Structure 1
């Protein structure tokens, strides 16, 4: 279990393997972002994207899944206050395989029980950046136990 005191600015990690499917792209989009370039392969072919692409919000959700399974599962994270600098760098397409890298870029005291950790998150597909953000995560202090 990694607590606030265990984390150091500059720490990095790389992990994950998540294959994106066309069915998942359309299922997510039909529920949450029903624009034709996310839901209809034929319409998407005539869009500026030239084919079906995942919603940026879907990309963020898949990134979150990789973070929970590979990064946050072994830590004393207590939730997040939000994200800064969220950017979708290029569209995610069917059959893309996502990976994530993280870097701790800042740490601050929050209260007696928690510290605030700023984590730069980058999601890539095929070696290309598809998403970047800075997550603002509260971590439990070991001294609080």
Structure 2
């Protein structure tokens, strides 16, 4: 069973994410070039690639793919805490909503709230976290929400959470 002293690069363990805790982080600005490049590779719908098509769409102008917004959210999570954590991945996302379009020039940040935390029944050295993420643009508008589970190694698997 791993312990904190055997993993000096790990700063964040399951125990470091108590229920109700909120973390805010990130700042990523989308460029027009990045929006088009992502769309070309992964979501080549015309309103993500072409100005004329975008103007004729519900968006009214070139917009980022929702999947691009998800990818940016993942990068911000990695930079803020995941790469320094005992993360073991995720069994999935339960809820994902794209609430507002994201446009080139928008700057996005994130807010994460821990909704639930419990040890994994089959692996007491692993803790589960259910979290809600909000991606917020420079105007304070929430553009994306996600809820899902993450798996993290526990610092002290023998202690029952209080």
TM-score of the pair, normalised by structure 1: 0.95
Question: Does 1:10 find its partner at 2:20?
Answer: yes
1:140 aligns with 2:123: no
Structure 2 residue corresponding to 1:84, chosen from 94, 99, 107: 94
Report the Cα offset of residue 77 of structure 1: 1.1
User: 1:91-132 CA distances to partner (integer Å, 9 max, x unpaired)?
Assistant: 100000000000100012211221110111000112100110
Is 1:115 matched with 2:130?
no
Is the Cα contact below 8 Å between 2:15 and 2:154 reproduced in 1? yes
Deviation of 1:58 (Å): 0.7
Secondary structure, counterpart of 2:64 in structure 1? coil
- The alignment status of 1:47 with 2:60, answered yes or no, reads no
The structure that has the greater radius of gyration is 2
Q: Secondary structure at the match of 2:12?
A: coil
Measure how far apart 1:143 and its partner are: 2.2
What CA distance in whole angstroms lies between the structure 2 residues aligned with 1:21 and 1:5? 37
Paired residues in the alignment total 145
Structure number with the higher strand fraction is: 1
What's 1:64 paired with? 74
Do the aligned residues in 1 keep the contact of 2:87 with 2:152 (CA within 8 Å)?
yes
Deviations 1:47-97 (A, max 9, x none): 111000111111100110001001213321111111111000101000000
C-alpha RMSD over aligned residues: 1.4
User: Which stretch shifts more, 88-97 or 110-119?
Assistant: 110-119
* Aligned counterparts, 1:18-29, within 5 A: 18-29=28-39
TM-score under structure 2 length normalisation: 0.85
Aligned mates of 1:18, 1:5 — CA distance in 2 = 28
Q: Is 128-137 or 68-77 further displaced after alignment?
A: 68-77
Structure 1: which 4+ aligned runs deviate by more than 4 Å?
A: none
